[in-house]
Amino acid sequence: MNRRHIPFLAAAWLLAGAAAARGQDAPAPTPTPVPEPPLAAPTPAPGLAVNPTFFNPSIAVIGNFLANVGNNPVQPSPAFQVEESEISFQAVVDPYARADLFLSFTNEGVEVEEGYVTFLALPWQTQAKAGKFKVQFGKVNTLHLHVLPWVDEPLPFTNILLQPQFETWKAEGISVSKVIELPGDTFSEAYFQVLDGTSGGGLFAAPTKSNLTYVGQYRVFRDFGDDHNLEASFSYAYGYNGTSLTNTTSLQNAALVYRWKPLEGRPYRSFILRSEYFWSQREQPDGTQKAQGFFVGADWQLARQWFTGARYEFSDHATNATLRDKGVAATLTFMPSEFSVLRAEYRRRDYAPGIVANEGFLQIQFAIGAHGAHPF
């Protein structure tokens, strides 16, 4: 080896050693940390309720304040009153039943307006309820006062069904219903009710507890397109009226309800037309009284919170069919929300024999709490 090559070899050897040293001293790349799985939520101990109010019923209070001006010697009303305020308790009992209780507070005191248990899964696809409930007779009779489009009930309720003002027919008993399928997407339902013979105010008063009152109804409901639907029903009732040991009363009712509610274009417009015809055959010591009654009401939604309506009515007296009362009413309703209602109503009634009553009403309603939906 030539001596002049030694310096170059030494330099190369030193550079290689330095490079090797740098490779040994260089830190290894840090691996990306793997995120740890989140901790599982703690499981409640057996027997501890997750929601302490889960088993409590839904409770609601509905107040109904009514102011009245004008003179009505036939059906007098105070200037101011809290008319039939309501407290409701509603809950599912178990997978097979639910319970509903409605307490009514009036000037006369407190009473159970409705209190019943409904059995939801019975043989042959039927349902049944037992207790005190609104009788399935017509359409308006099944509605609570706070869901009516008027301040009061039409004349046939006082003259034909013999109920006090601001009241509908309710009774204790058992009710069985069944949905019957019809072609063309038509909803159909049949009701049969057996009621205590002494319930219903002055309508029925059986001489013995074995003389029961019977009610049947068949109703049909169908949609016509997306915006229209029609409901029609026929009802029949029979029972002892208490004028003697054998005298009875039979009642018939034909009801028709048309609804228009557009799903598109005009969401705050709607129209409902309600009409019912009543027939009564009441046996009395002075002979059978055959009375008729009718009402028709139309309600129009003007805007999101404004409604107006009109009603025409007439009715014979069930106890004296020679007497006939007539009336008209007009309403204007403002609903700030679904929990409050302000309604003004003008009502004129011509009572036989020749008594005219012009009255004005102002109704204020409010609702607090969870109140279940009423039957459609």
Predicted pLDDT at 266: 77
The pLDDT, as a whole number, for residue 7 is 43
Per-residue pLDDT tens over the stretch 88-108: 999 999 999 999 999 998 878
Instruction: Assess whether pLDDT exceeds 90 at residue 41.
Output: no
The pLDDT assigned to 202 comes to: 83
Higher pLDDT, 226 or 310: 310
In this predicted structure, the answer to whether residue 353 has a pLDDT above a threshold of 90 is no
Query: Is the confidence at residue 10, as pLDDT, over 60?
Result: no
pTM comes to 0.83
**Tell me: the pLDDT tens digits for 246-292?**
999 999 999 999 999 998 877 789 999 999 999 999 999 999 999 99
pLDDT value at residue 52: 52
- How far apart CA 15 and CA 21 sit, in angstroms, is 10
Q: Give the mean model confidence (pLDDT) for residues 321-347.
A: 97
Band of pLDDT at residue 13, cut at 50, 70 and 90: very low
Predicted local distance difference test score (pLDDT) of residue 62: 95
311 in Cβ contact with 275 (< 8 Å): no
Among the ranges given (30-39, 182-191, 213-222, 271-280), the one the predictor scored with the smallest mean pLDDT: 30-39
Residue 21 phi/psi, 5° resolution?
A: -65, -40
- Counted residue by residue, the chain has a size of 376
Mean pLDDT, to the nearest integer, of 292-308? 97
- What pLDDT, on a 0 to 100 scale, did the predictor assign at position 152? 94
Question: Above 50 in pLDDT, residue 26?
Answer: no
Q: What confidence category does residue 199 fall into, taking pLDDT thresholds of 50, 70 and 90?
A: confident
Each domain of the chain, given as residue ranges in start order, spans: 120-335+347-358
- In 201-247 the beta strands, taken as DSSP E runs, fall at 213-224, 228-240
Give the per-residue pLDDT at 339.
Answer: 93
Residue 372 scores a pLDDT above 60:
yes
Structure tokens belonging to residue 287: 């002979």
Residue 124 has pLDDT above 80, yes or no: yes
Cβ atoms < 10 Å from Cβ of 301? 21
Percent of the chain scoring above 70 in pLDDT: 84
Phi, psi of 16 (to 5 degrees): -65, -40
Q: What does the pLDDT average to over 302-308?
A: 96
Which are the contacts of 304, defined by CB distance < 8 A and separation ≥ 6? 268
pLDDT in tens, 225-246: 889 999 999 999 999 999 999 9
Residue 36 has pLDDT above 90, yes or no: no
* Side-chain half-sphere CA neighbours of 167 within 13 A: 26
pLDDT of residue 267: 79
Per-position DSSP letters for 47-114, written without gaps between them? T--SSTTTTSPEEEEEEEEEEEEE--SSS---SEEE--EEEEEEEEEETTEEEEEEEEEETTEEEEEE
User: Does 353 or 159 have the greater pLDDT score?
Assistant: 159
pLDDT attached to residue 109: 84
pLDDT in tens, 169-192: 999 999 999 999 898 889 999 999
Average model confidence (pLDDT) for the chain?
87
d(CA 152, CA 70): 15
